[in-house]
């Protein structure tokens, strides 16, 4: 089971935009090979940052409106939100330290 919880359009505002903590959202799809490559990193970060940041996965095929709203053109795309605004983004399959380093800046 994934440590990063799926987020839907219905819960996006309350879970991501209104969060008191920084939030990492992994925009992904089942058919995306690079998304599967970074999934273990995203899950590990969800555990590592528990209590300091929230980590969610958003399936772009199931929730296209959110992906469109944030101009997600390729996946995997990781958006980091703080105070309801995007403060950073990472596009493509990157190593865990890169993701962690970018999230650290939002803490």
Does 50 participate in catalysis according to the annotation? Answer: no
The pLDDT assigned to 60 comes to: 97
Q: What is the extent of the structural domain holding 65?
A: 5-106
- Cross-strand partners of 79: 25, 89
Tokens read off for 103: 């999230």
Coil, strand or helix at 50: coil
Residue of 4, 25, 32, 75 marked catalytic: 32
Number of domains in the chain: 1
CATH code of the domain containing 87: 3.40.30.10
10/7 Cα distance (integer angstroms): 8
- What is the pTM for the complete model shown? 0.96
pLDDT in tens, the chain (107 residues): 468 899 999 999 999 999 999 999 999 999 999 999 999 999 999 999 999 999 999 999 999 999 999 999 999 999 999 999 999 999 999 999 999 999 999 99
41/39 Cα distance (integer angstroms): 5
Contact at 8 Å (CB) between 67 and 86? no
The pLDDT assigned to 3 comes to: 83
Q: What share of the chain is helix, strand, coil (3-state, %, to 5)?
A: 40, 25, 35
Residue of 4, 7, 35, 72 marked catalytic: 35
Does 32 participate in catalysis according to the annotation? Answer: yes
């Amino acid at each position: 089971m994934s440590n990063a919880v799926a987020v839907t359009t219905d819960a996006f505002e309350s879970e991501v935009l209104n969060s008191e903590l920084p939030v990492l959202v992994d925009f992904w799809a089942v058919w995306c090979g690079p998304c599967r490559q970074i999934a273990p990193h995203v899950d590990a970060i969800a555990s590592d940052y528990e209590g300091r940041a929230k980590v969610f996965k958003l399936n772009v095929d199931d929730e296209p409106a959110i992906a469109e709203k944030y101009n997600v053109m390729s996946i995997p795309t990781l958006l980091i939100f703080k105070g309801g605004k995007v403060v950073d983004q990472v596009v493509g399959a990157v190593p865990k330290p890169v993701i962690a380093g970018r999230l650290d800046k939002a803490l």
